[in-house]
Amino acid sequence: MELLIDDKTKQILKKAKSIVFFTGAGISAESGIPTFRGKDGIWNKLKPEELANFNAFLKNPKLVWEWYQHRKEIIHKCQPNPAHKIIAELQNKYEKVSVVTQNIDNLHRRAGSKSVYELHGNIERNYCIDCKKEYGNNVPLIDGLPKCDCGGLVRPDVVWFGEYLPQNVFTSAEEIAKKSDVFFIVGTTGIVYPAASIIYLAKNKGSYLIEVNIDETDISISVDQSFFGKAGEVLPQIFSQI
Ligand code: BJW
Ligand code: ZN
Per the structure, the complete domain to which residue 12 belongs is given by: 1-33+80-120+164-242
Is the CB of 162 inside a 6 Å radius of any atom of ligand 1?
Answer: yes
Question: Among 118, 193, 220, 223, which residue has the most ligand 1 atoms within 8 Å of its CB, making it the best to mutate?
Answer: 193
For residues 28 and 40, membership in a common domain is answered with: no
Could you tell me which residues come within 8 angstroms of residue 146 by beta carbon, excluding any fewer than 6 positions away?
Answer: 65, 126, 135, 139, 140, 153, 154
Which CATH number goes with the domain that contains 58? 3.30.1600.10
Is the CB of 109 inside a 6 Å radius of any atom of ligand 1?
Answer: no
Is the CB of 25 inside a 6 Å radius of any atom of ligand 1?
Answer: yes
Q: Which ligand is nearest to the CA of 231?
A: 1
pLDDT at position 71 is 92
Which DSSP string do the residues of 102-156 spell out, in sequence order? ---S-HHHHHT-SSEEETTEEEEEEEETTT--EE-S---EETTEEB-TTSPBEEE
Q: Of all atoms in ligand 1, which is nearest to the CA of residue 217?
A: 73
For residues 87 and 205, membership in a common domain is answered with: yes
For residues 190 and 218, membership in a common domain is answered with: yes
pLDDT at position 188 is 98
Evaluate whether 182 touches 11 at the Cβ level (below 8 Å).
Answer: no
Q: Which ligand is nearest to the CA of 128?
A: 2
Per the annotation, the verdict on 120 as an active-site residue is yes
Rounded CA separation 103/117 (Å): 10
For residues 135 and 236, membership in a common domain is answered with: no
CB 26: neighbour CB atoms within 10 A?
A: 25
Q: Which helix (H) or strand (E) holds 99?
A: strand 96-101
Q: Which ligand is nearest to the CA of 140?
A: 2
**Domain count across the chain:** 2
Which CATH number goes with the domain that contains 107? 3.40.50.1220
Is the CB of 214 inside a 6 Å radius of any atom of ligand 1?
Answer: yes
Alpha-carbon 162 to chain mean position: 18
pLDDT at position 2 is 82
Q: Would you give per-residue pLDDT tens digits along the chain (242 residues)? A: 789 999 999 999 999 999 999 999 999 999 999 998 877 777 667 766 668 899 999 999 998 999 899 999 999 999 999 999 999 999 999 999 999 999 999 999 999 999 999 999 999 999 999 999 999 988 888 888 999 999 999 999 999 999 999 999 999 999 999 999 999 999 999 999 999 999 999 999 999 999 999 999 999 999 999 999 999 999 999 999 99
Residue type present at position 75: I
Termini Cα distance of the chain: 17
Which protein residue has the closest C-alpha to ligand 1 atom 12?
Answer: 193
For residues 196 and 152, membership in a common domain is answered with: no
Is the CB of 167 inside a 6 Å radius of any atom of ligand 1?
Answer: no
Question: Among 45, 106, 192, which residue has the most ligand 1 atoms within 8 Å of its CB, making it the best to mutate?
Answer: 192
Rounded to the nearest angstrom, the distance between the alpha carbon of 131 and the centre of ligand 2 is 4
Evaluate whether 57 touches 66 at the Cβ level (below 8 Å).
Answer: no
Is the CB of 166 inside a 6 Å radius of any atom of ligand 1?
Answer: no
